[in-house]
Amino acid sequence: MLESVSFDQLRMFVAAADEGSFSAAARRVRRTQSAVSEAILSLEAQLGVVLFDRAGRYPKLTKEGVVLLADTRAVITGVDAMKARAKGIAGGLEAELTAVLDVFLPISLIAEAAREFRIQFPATPLRLYVEALGGAVQPVLDGRASIGVVGSLPTLPPGLIKERLFDVKLMMVAAASHPLASYRGTIPKEELARHVQLVLTDRSTLTEGRNIGVMSPSTWRLADLFAKHAFLVSGLGFGGMPLHAVARDIAEGRLVELSIEEAPPGGLPLPMFAVYREGEPPGPAGRWMIERLKNCSEGVAAKEESRMC
């Protein structure tokens, strides 16, 4: 029976789990609610496992459903990646590669990749934008960019395929002169709430009404990571920064790593993903760039370590 499981069934299963209802899943996959319900019932029969508890108003994943959901996501990601590679092999070269990059991405790695890109694709212009949060996703959704590299937005909107690239460490810091820098022991959240937090603002509307990573009711919002860095060094507040951007400041005593609740020492690993629209995978140049960035994990770690020395 497992041989007859279809890819559509798996997509509907993931959509229902993500959306929390069969009706919302139907809107997402552009099918009727009855088609989604029947597909999931059929999938449960084929697997011999109940995926959803339907006793309440909304279907809820069973323990078995939670486990199999992770497997299903892996299958879908693998098939989407295969389709993307196949299109790149069979299709023609892009006239131009437009990409939007998360501001947390080490720009030196992008420069290295761009130098190699120029050698590999000398006739393909490269257009890059640097944004934060939803600003690194919106151009991909709008079709203004074919690929994006995203890390600072925790939850991606539907309609996008993501591929894991590498991790960037995110660290909470303050100037050496800031009161929090002299706090002894782990800093509780109520103490953080007494100080101004410097926060990146979102140029898009994807995070409207949401506060991501905000620990203080008093915030100053900046749209530029370099401005945030300058404000941190000047002692105007505390905030999170990618380690590669502040490692030298920490090593030279301008900034201090803050020990706060629920944050591991040395920085919180922040996964970076390449994203593109479902059904519109990147061509050969975009696929080359994604694969090149997947090989950057050692380079990120080396740059962070070298700047700390």
- Candidates 110, 104, 214, 261; CA nearest to 169 is 104
Q: What is the pLDDT of residue 300?
A: 57
Q: Give Cα 13 distance to the centre of its chain.
A: 22
**Can you tell me the distance from the alpha carbon of 56 to that of 242, in angstroms, rounded to the nearest whole number?**
43
Burial state string for 210-243 with b = 16 or more CB within 10 A and e = fewer than 16: eeeeebbeebeebeebeebbebbbebbbbbbbbb
Q: What is the pLDDT of residue 194?
A: 94
pLDDT (tens digit per residue) in 197-238: 999 887 766 666 566 678 889 999 888 889 999 999 999 999
Burial of 41 (0-12, 13-18, 19+ CB in 10 A): middle
Beta bridge partner(s), residue 268:
170
What integer pLDDT is reported at residue 82 of this predicted model? 77
Instruction: Collect the ranges in the chain with pLDDT lower than 70.
Output: 1-3, 84-85, 87-91, 154, 204-212, 297-309
pLDDT of residue 137: 86
pLDDT of residue 308: 43
What is the distance between the alpha carbons of residues 4 and 242, in angstroms, rounded to a whole number? Answer: 46
Report pLDDT for 309.
37
- pLDDT of 108 reads 86
